[in-house]
Amino acid sequence: MTLATPRPGDRPAGPGGTGADGAGTARAALAAARASRAAELDRWLGSLLTAGGTPDGVALIAVGSHGRRDLTPGGDLDLVLLHRGRADIAGIADRIWYPVWDSGLRLDHSVRTVHEARTVARGDLKAALGLLSARRIAGAHALADELRAAVLADWRADAPVRLADLSAMCRERWDGQGELAFLQEPDLKEARGGLRDVHVMHAVAASWVASAPGGQVRDAHDLLLDVRHALHEVTGRSTDRLVLQEQEAVAHALGLLDRDVLQRSIAEAARTITYAASHLWRRVDRFTASQGRRPGGQRAGGQRPGGQRRGVERRPVGDGAVEHEGEVVLARNADLDDPALVLRVAAAAAQAGLPLAPATVSRLAEHAALPAAPWPAEARDALVALLGAGPAAIGVWEALDQAGLVVRLLPDWERVRNRPQRNPVHRFTVDRHLVEAAAGAAALTRDVSRPDLLLVGALLHDIGKGWPGDHSTSGAVVARDLGARLGFPEEDVSVLETLVRHHLLLPETATRRDIDDPVTVRTVTAAVAEVPGREREIIELLAALAIADGNATGPAAWGAWKARLVAELARRSAAALAGGTPPPAPGPGPDRLALVRHDGGAVRVSGSRITIAAPDRPGLLWRAAGVLALHRLAVKTARTISSTEDSAGTAVLDFTAVPEYGTPPDPAGLEADLRRMLADRLDVAGLLERRARSARVRPGVTVPPPRVLIVDDASRTATVIEVRAHDRPGLLWRIGQALGACGLRVRAARVDTLGAEAVDVFYVVDERGRPVEDPAVLADVRTGILASLR
């Protein structure tokens, strides 16, 4: 398909647009204006204090914006007149306050002794925050220094309590103001990721619990400060809310191309601040929790200042990743040349429900190899596992994005990154909407046979919004290129392309057409016929994607009424496409049968490929899977085929298995244990039970419950049972054990792990070798499998 748009891969202009040089000049002028005004105010206010001579034991202190020299045209002056108990202090105050009021400046003022100011700060959190930024304008140096030293000493001594209160205050503010990066009319100061959060970060740093904000946060703060300055100049008012009608004028005052460029710049700055603040609050939470374990604020034994503990255990959470102090860091043996490492570590963090340590993200961004196109299967599976973690993936994705890794992995992401959506229905920027949709799709992976295509399709469904024209049409072209880049097979790439092109098909058709009209269903089935043989699968994926997309958009875009219509249209379309049955499971080829030896079985271990050929018997599959679990191997695929054509009744088991973490097991040891299992000299069940009892359970992400489906009319010679579940060590062992407990034999199996989701299909027969047809027995089988997976 040819589009009258740039080809995917062309890079767009950066957030500064074509006016980047002009923006730099305009912003430099605003910063210079603030500095000049601060100096002029200091001279004037100082002259008011010293008129008729400098009074002894008095100092004029600026707090708040002027204390930081950040006063914008509409900002308030916040001043403290500090003294040592002078009887005439009221007269001195009047000769300062009245001229300020007469000038038209808004003034917040107080008159205090050091003791009074200190007492107020210890009882009022907002007052304490203001005094932490106190700056002397004029008067006694010693008095100003005494106040600052006293306030800092109290702040640090009371840090466990004050920081906990500060955390609660910030969260209450965020709940009320929302997240700056995603608001169409944000409060630049009070919203999450705004100026207030940077001020709070400096206050936390003053307690010595965390470091001061770094260069990226300071740059983000300065950008928001310049926007606030321009907003005050444009409106002539003291306002921090950037409403829609003012955005174009503010953009031009900053030398930016238009309001969209302004919004992208604001979103990027706000997300930088939010990400850094999230890490800071995790440190604060650890600090306050550790300090709370001893009466009187004493630290728990063996801890350093800041809540850091000596000898903290490092626990593996995945291959190349370990948990350390509540964050995921690189394992000591992590291979930075492995192109799948970045995504595998990110997936491990998301699946464990843990954040990536910022230092680890920086190290990965600077030194780790990234997958080249087409991606290897390991990198693609790690991406799917990351997205499949659901909401826990959002914070990890944000960490990768802040380090610039997302646009390096997916270059077309640059066009949607921080892109605003001028639609009140949408809650997020385009890129965040895509991540939210993918996270929401993780809850629907049990509803589809290809969870990997659902998750990636959700991530890409609006990728065309970075291009001119209809975003579904443009996005389909980008999705085809990205699907090939990710290494999907050609037919799967076509499915992804179709998903993106038609992601609005079901909701738009269901709400705008009569679903009782046969033409409506034919319209849907004709649209999904682009990939012959995959039509029902595409309908299934589109139905799940519609839910994920609607929920990620906002409550105005999705509700019970639309959900019912979409589900019914999908059901009718799938029914119209029904027909035919899957081909029978293939038998083992001559090369596999040749593995059978006279001693009763053969085992071949070659890298991640393990092949077993042995006389067929009940429980062979799950016992072999149990041996792999004992050796810390995660089964990625399994193909199990039984044959009665040879006299022995041979079963051939083909596994692809990779280490859960660390180095692979010794192949000789693995082969020896598999042979011991075949000879009934290995108590697989007992060993696994002991291992399970000794394992430390660490909570991870919340995943959808497993689903067990009985597939009707899929085979004439066996009952087909499909199990969809979150992958975990020993999963295949548990399912097979449950089937065996129900008296069923596995005639053939197709086991696939797609990212972190397992889709396992079993062809089973009863003890007489016949399909199971009794509904009560099938219900017991379903119940038994679900019970084994709890």
Q: Is the same domain home to 182 and 281? A: yes
Q: What pLDDT was estimated at residue 11? A: 37
For residue 299, the model assigns a pLDDT of 41
Say what the pLDDT of residue 18 is: 42
Q: Would residue 775 count as lying in a domain?
A: yes
3-state SS assignment for residue 595: coil
Phi then psi for residue 784, to 5 deg, are -65, -40
The answer on 700 and 622 residing in a single domain is: yes
Q: Are 409 and 343 in contact (CB under 8 A)?
A: yes
**Tokens 């319209």 label which residue?**
523
Shared domain for 422 and 557, answered yes or no, is yes
Are 46 and 61 contacting, i.e. CB atoms less than 8 angstroms apart?
no
Q: Which pLDDT score is estimated for 516?
A: 82
Query: Residue 729 falls within a domain, yes or no?
Result: yes
Query: What is the tens place of the pLDDT at every residue in 688-704?
Result: 888 777 666 566 677 88
3-state helix, strand, coil in the chain (%, to 5): 55, 15, 35
Both 27 and 51 in one domain: the answer is yes
Q: State whether 183 and 59 are in the same domain.
A: no
Residue 413 lies inside a defined structural domain of this protein: no
Strand ranges for 552-632 from DSSP E: 602-606, 609-615
Q: Which residues contact 769 (CB under 8 A, 6 or more apart)?
A: 745
Final residue of a domain: which of 531, 549, 579?
579
- Domain limits at 285? 161-293
d(CA 754, CA 383): 10
The verdict on 548 and 690 lying in the same domain is: no
Predicted TM-score (pTM) of the model is: 0.86
Nearest CA-CA partner of 623 in 749, 734, 533: 734
Do 144 and 220 reside in the same domain of the chain? Answer: no
Residues of the chain scoring pLDDT < 50: 1-18, 293-310, 580-586, 597-599, 644-647
State pLDDT tens for residues 558-601. 888 899 999 999 999 998 887 533 444 445 555 555 555 444 56
Q: Which of 746, 555, 560 is nearest to 642 (CA)?
A: 746
Give percent of the chain with pLDDT exceeding 90: 65
CATH of the domain at 140: 3.30.460
Mark whether 536 and 596 lie in a shared domain.
Answer: no
208: CATH: 1.20.120.330
Is there a single domain that holds both residue 84 and residue 41?
A: yes
The residue whose two tokens read 């995921």 is 328
Which pLDDT value is given to residue 404? 97
The answer as to whether 446 is a domain residue is yes
220 and 94 part of one domain? no
Identify the pLDDT of residue 695.
62
81, part of any domain: yes
Nearest to 372 by CA among 426, 420, 424, 408: 408
Residue 60's Cβ-side half-sphere holds a number of Cα atoms within 13 Å equal to 26
The CA angle 399-405-410, to the nearest 5 degrees, is 120
Helices (H), 298-410: 341-352, 358-367, 377-387, 392-402, 405-409
Residue 692 in any domain: the answer is: yes
Q: Is position 330 within any domain?
A: no
CATH code, domain with 698: 3.30.70.260
How many domains does one find in the chain?
4
Residues contacting 157, CB < 8 A, separation 6+: none
**Phi then psi for 757, rounded to 5 degrees?**
-115, 130
Residue count of the chain, please give it. Answer: 790
Tell whether the torsion through CA atoms of 575, 580, 586 and 587 is positive or negative: positive
207 in a structural domain: yes
Q: To which H or E segment does residue 492 belong?
A: helix 490-501
* Last residue within a domain, chosen from 157, 184, 199: 157
Q: Are residues 560 and 605 in the same domain?
A: no
Judge if 657 and 621 occupy the same domain.
yes
Last residue of a domain, one of 248, 264, 293: 293
- Dihedral pair phi/psi, residue 783, rounded to 5°: -65, -40
